[in-house]
Structure 1
Amino acid sequence: MRIVPHLLGAAIAVALLSTSIQAAELTGTLKKIKESGSISLGHRDASIPFSYLGNEPGQPIGYSHDLQMKVVEALKQQLGLPELKVRYTLVTSQTRIPLVQNGTVDLECGSTTNNVERQQQVDFSVGIFEVGTRLLTKKTSGITDFADLKGKNVVTTAGTTSERLIKSMNAEKQMGMNIISAKDHGESFLMLESSRAVAFMMDDALLYGEMAKAKKPDDWVVVGQPQSYEIYGCSVRKGDPEFKQAVDNAITATFKSGEINDIYSKWFLKPVPPKNLNMNFPMSDELKKLIANPTDKAAEQL
């Protein structure tokens, strides 16, 4: 078959034009990912079972991480990047928002509460989990609710909504608590386990995660009337609607397909690393509603 040179040249020109138009249509984070061939994912090291380090060095695992990887798979298709490289960046409660803001992290999925204050700094995906803030304590401590904490040492994790709530409660009700702000959930539980605090305030699902890795899980209990209900979301840079939409589409598709049920069961109803203990944390009615009707609103906006 003989190809006329000028027709071949025209075909190449059209192909190049099509590619340039496609590239021009991409903006923000999508353009950055397409051009670099890589995406930076923010993860935690101890937010069991949402996002934490597994047995492989530097390799995060968890419920939120599985959803994060659903986004990566969707982006591979959307951007035509089957070999999209994933770069992991460890974040903490204090650094997660700044690292998303400054572009170090493209997508952070862990145990980050979507609230009105944080919405001024980053944008959030549709919600991926809903929790209540409660207390973890020894079964023999005599602590059954927040009123029992008066004059006691209480630990929480720095940079979390639980820290803000317990400090506000302490001031408003003049409870005389000594509030210890630990650097991460693991350190918070260590404070509790070593009797430097009588209770650990945090999101209930995370407290069950700490129980699952305790030396003697049966010694502990989660108690107290929830002081707030919070929705976790994946955080992305503010003002990048195209990327946020891509993230939302991937998560919503996972919800609609029913895959979310298998992911939930894997992390909350079956044995999980590092000790292969079962959290026995059934899906709440609130989370079922969130999955059926995805929203990127904070709990206080619903």
Structure 2
Amino acid sequence: MKKAGLVLTSLLLVVGLVTGCGSTPPAATPNAATDMSADVKAIKDRGVLKVGVKVDVPNFGYKDPKTEKIEGFEIDLANVISKKIIGTEKIETQAVTAKTRGPLLDSGEVDLVIATFTVTEERKKSYNFSDAYFVDGVRLMVKKDAGIASLKDLDGKKIGVAQSATSKKAIQEQADKVGAKISFLEYATYPEIKTALVSGRVDCFSVDGSILSGYLDDSTVILADSFSPQDYGVASKKGNDGLAKLVNTTIADLKTSGELDKMIEKWGLK
């Protein structure tokens, strides 16, 4: 009897192995909730995407003094990303400048910076950047009656640039090539630079061409010179890799569908 019992037990074990009974259950198929990275889930649970944006760049991120509403191409892009994460367009904007946008990411006060932030190899060491959603070039704005037609004509002149922006380096490199000795005055905001140009404190206002176009008036002109292509990317904090991946996928989808071009066209950008 004992021997028969052992044989019966052995047979049951074999049947169990063949049918899968008693084996470790297969892992559950990941669903949207379990597959979501912790950084993205934190934003979804909070119910709002915090974004650093410009408020002084017409057509990109600009606060209308009459309505107090911030609008522009980059605000629209932030809303698209918000909808991807939360399911609705729910963003909380924080005004940033070229100097403050990095520290606000570092401190965690914003989840993303979408603020004409040029991607450079040096900056990629500190932040995650998406692929470019817009490409521009550094340009020069001068007074129409200044008699200035090119960077070479700015020899001995002062150029106004934004603090911590890439414009200064790009212009200096080109000035060295054409033999123009120039100096710089740095300002916190673009309106300050435009005011300095109008008042004569600087002879030129330099930043990316699409930004300059928002400050163009009857007394000024943007020169034909264009330097150093500027790739704008969405920046996120190092370590928030799930968020960076989602942003990049969203931008890729917008490019493929043609929606990104429509958004650019909507705001009259080139």
Alignment length (residue pairs): 241
| Bigger radius of gyration | 2
| Corresponding residue of 1:257 | 257
Pair 1:44-2:54 in alignment: yes
Partner letter of residue 76 of structure 1?
Answer: I
8 Å Cα contact 2:187/2:193 also seen in 1 = yes
Tell me the distance in 2 between the aligned counterparts of 1:164 and 1:73. 37
* CA–CA separation in structure 1 for the residues paired with 2:156 and 2:195: 20
Counterpart for residue 142 of structure 1: 147
Deviation of residue 187 (structure 1)?
0.8
Q: TM-score, normalised by structure 1?
A: 0.72
Q: Percent identity?
A: 27
Q: Within the alignment, does 1:159 sit opposite 2:164 as a pair? A: yes
Q: Distance in 1 between matches of 2:175 and 2:226?
A: 16
CA–CA distance in structure 2, aligned partners of residues 21 and 264 of structure 1: 34
Match status 1:90 vs 2:95: yes
Q: Which residue of 1 aligns with 2:226?
A: 226
State the 1:161 CA deviation.
0.1
Is contact 2:105-2:237 (8 Å) kept? yes
Which runs of 5 or more structure 1 residues have no equivalent in the other structure?
Answer: 1-17, 212-216, 269-280, 284-302
The 2-side partners of 1:139 and 1:39 are apart by 43
Distance 1:159 1:246, change over 3 A: same
2:17 alignment counterpart: none
Q: Distance in 1 between matches of 2:149 and 2:238?
A: 41
Q: Report the CA distance shift for 1:172/1:244 in structure 2 as closer, same or farther (over 3 A).
A: same
Please tell me whether the aligned partners of residues 65 and 110 of structure 1 are also in contact (alpha carbons under 8 angstroms): no
Distance, in Å, in 2 between the alignment partners of 1:170 and 1:255 is 35
Alignment partner, residue 122 of structure 2: 117
- The separation in 1 between residues aligned to 2:115 and 2:176, in whole angstroms, is 30
* TM-score computed with the length of structure 2 as normaliser: 0.80
Report the alpha carbon displacement of residue 31 of structure 1 after superposing the two structures with TM: 2.5
Paired residue type of 1:238: K
Cα deviation, residue 175, structure 1: 4.1
Can you give the 5+ residue segments of structure 2 that lack an aligned partner in the other structure? 1-27
TM-fit CA distance, 1:21: 8.2
Moved more, 101-110 or 29-38: 29-38
AA partner of residue 74 (structure 2): S
Aligned residue in 2 for 1:184: 189
CA distance in 2, matches of 1:28, 1:195: 52
